[in-house]
Amino acid sequence: MKQVKMSDVAKKAGVSLSTVSQYMNCRYEYMSGETREKIKSVMEELNYVPNSIARSLATAKTKTIGVVVGNITGYFTSSVVRGVEDYCKKNGFSIIIYNTDHDIELEQKSINILKMLRVDGILIVPSGKNNEMINQESSSGMPIVQMYMEYDDLNISTVISNYRESAYDATEYFINLGHKNIAIITQEYENTRSRYDRILGYKDALINNGLSFNEDLIHIWDVSPDMNLLFEKISKNKNLPTAIFVMHSAITINLLKHFKLKNINIPEDFSIIGFDEIPNADLMKTPITVVKQPTYEIGQKSAELILEKINNKNEVENKKIVIPCQLKIRESCKKYNKIKS
């Protein structure tokens, strides 16, 4: 069967080759709606499939975006990526997704493969371990945007939630319910701006409400599914918490599993707030109050920013877009009116 060419489409549609080319590159402002529909109809009739390799060589663009994430199966990440995909699709771009499984070498390999595939830009949830490499790629001209994880030594554009303000609001909600000993469970945060800002928001709320900041109430989770040792440490603290602010959804889920196993009740024994939405939270025995990040919007804004950088390579400076979160109040917190014995 003879391969259909762009010239065949132009001839049958009664337009110039350049008009079909403009259509293929989504430059619709150069043609009428009638012309667009005519070209689309002829392409479908002839079953024309564009030669993407030839187009990329001619235009130096592949109309593809690389997306590098730790694990797309997570509720949070999958929602962000869906926002990215929908925005890119609407603007004539495709995405290529790489999962790193939080492996440093896989992250490096993913970036290098995406370069070889000639993607026009990269959206990344960085591990923080390859920041020098990412900075070099950005300086070499590759448009890169980091999504919902932020590092001070990464000199690239960022789309992030208002972590500090959101952590402040959640902590103050606890305080207004009468809680004074408020524990935090978080991942290692010292070198990660997006995690450290949550600690700062928590600290700000305590101090501004006349409470002391006690580092003994901050507990580090090491991504282990076993909560026994960590919760034993929390329970033996001389300042036994009445409320727990959990800084990541994976930790919240593991904590809830531990509570169920040990017959610990929410909010009777502990009031709980989690950072990030939990799937089907409303169906739980005790629906959990959460700081809900606008995941889909983060994806949309990230895609919008990377396309802006691609289309105006020499004009767009690095930007930081901060999107507000929502404190979604459910049933996992109660007023604290007495000292625990």
The whole-number pLDDT of residue 340 equals: 45
What pTM, to 2 d.p., does this model score? 0.80
pLDDT tens string 273-317: 999 998 877 778 899 999 999 999 999 999 999 999 998 865 678
- What's the whole-number mean pLDDT along residues 251-268? 91
Structure tokens that stand for 151 in this block: 């590092």
**SS3 assignment, position 145:** strand
30 pLDDT above the threshold of 80: no
Q: Which long-range contacts (CB under 8 A, 24 or more apart) does 134-140 make?
A: 137/111
What CATH number labels 62-161+295-324? Answer: 3.40.50.2300
Among candidate residues 134, 129, 161, 160, the one with its CA nearest the CA of residue 147: 160
pLDDT tens string 125-183: 999 999 999 999 999 889 999 999 999 899 999 999 999 999 999 999 999 999 999 99
Structure tokens that stand for 10 in this block: 């132009």
The whole-number pLDDT of residue 12 equals: 85
Structure tokens that stand for 154 in this block: 């990464």
Cis peptide before 225 (omega within 30 of 0): no
What CATH number labels 163-293? Answer: 3.40.50.2300
**SS3 assignment, position 263:** coil
Q: Tell me if domain 62-161+295-324 and domain 163-293 are identical in fold.
A: yes
17 pLDDT above the threshold of 80: yes
| Domain definitions of the chain by residue range | 6-50, 62-161+295-324, 163-293
The whole-number pLDDT of residue 57 equals: 46
- Weakest-pLDDT range from 42-56, 139-153, 209-223, 229-243: 42-56
Among candidate residues 206, 209, 225, 218, the one with its CA nearest the CA of residue 245: 218
Distance in angstroms (rounded) separating the CA atoms of residues 160 and 284: 29
